A and B are shown apart, each in its own frame.
Chain A
């Protein structure tokens, strides 16, 4: 192999890559936040809701989890303009990711909802807790503790796997920046190895941060390695 690595050209454009990394982080956070909202609503419907609504949520979850995120985003990007709905690239990716994350988070949160036992509620009733107190002192801490490690892992998944799909419809997040920059001077290997390293650092910082938060707030051990 007689390919000569020239990293100089990458360091010249490092600022642009960092902007991409920042956009990746933002997209990840917003997609995850929106996904949590959808997930909470859908998981409560699936656990306590009436039958037709439950069926609807089931359909949503099954359809989203069994089709690629890329196709969903292509659908929003290429399909919706035909119906007269026109969104920017970033909006398409964000909405696609929120819908996608919402489906997975529904499943994760539902598992958490189901992990609360009747006995615990009864114990609360014995102590004379009101409904609000039951939610505040028993249900929320229990669910948070059960679900937090999965959520922390899923945040990393959304931030890495999810947002990189956006590069394919022209969002300048980390992967998109790498594609843009390297198609100017064809130093593909250099750009993509540096970008891979940035991704590793980014997710490492994110998962360590989330693990520490989990340790302080919810007293759970989140696996970093």
Chain B
């Protein structure tokens, strides 16, 4: 305990803090890049999955299998698979790009389900109307379904992105210089584990808490009236 107190002034130096800030930036950059690219690709995946017609059955099966498989594999295993696969194909790929790719692969599987749920919440009559007006499928998606589905899609998508700020901690394992990696490094330099990992946890908290608050706020703002009904406490005396 005395050791921790004695270390505090040595730990909270400008150098260490700059290092932590830099790695926090890297964590955020990875999450943002991975989740944005993943979200766009997930839109494509959902579009392909909803292709009508018998000839598209294999396409649908591929899309469903992709989602089902990657939602059931731990992120750590996905990181290792991507790392070793890419290193056998292109041995000089940067670790950062490998991290982003693995986040993308994972984000596609999860956000595809979120997007599908949002799209299916739009009444089917809207699509019939679009068909009656001879809209193409892409135009229906972009101008009719998506605008109505945004309120349903956005809050869980933000919640997912927030969960990914935390999941990027696992990327430290392949040697990307993000927060957790810095934490282990500082711990190896002899700083107390409680101090180091407490600080790192606070860094993650400061990044993820405002975003999850935003997600909750949007959920309240955008929610449909059906899910907004107030719930009363039971056993009120």
Contact = CB atoms under 8 A, between A and B. Distances in A.
Interface of A: 1, 3, 47-48, 62-63, 65-72, 74-75, 77-83, 113-118, 121, 139, 156, 160-161, 163-165, 167-168, 175, 178-179, 188-189, 192-193, 195-196, 199-200, 203-204, 225
Given A47-B233, A66-B204, A71-B183, A82 B166 contact: no
B73 A189 contact: no
Nearest to B170: A70
A161 B77 CA distance: 10
Task: Specify the main secondary structure of chain B where it touches its partner.
Answer: helix
B57 to A, nearest CB: 16
B76 interface: yes
B77 A117 contact: no
Given A62-B209, A225-B68, A67 B85 contact: no
B232 A118 contact: yes
Interface string B136-170: 00000000000000000000000000100011011
A66 B88 CA distance: 36
Given A164-B75, A196-B69, 7 more contacts: A66-B162, A75-B193, A78-B196, A78-B197, A82-B192, A82-B193, A113-B234
Contact of A67 (B77, B81, B173, B205): B205
Interface size class of B (residues with CB under 8 A): 35 or more
11 contacts: A66-B162, A67-B204, A69-B166, A70-B172, A79-B197, A79-B198, A82-B3, A116-B234, A160-B73, A192-B77, A196-B77
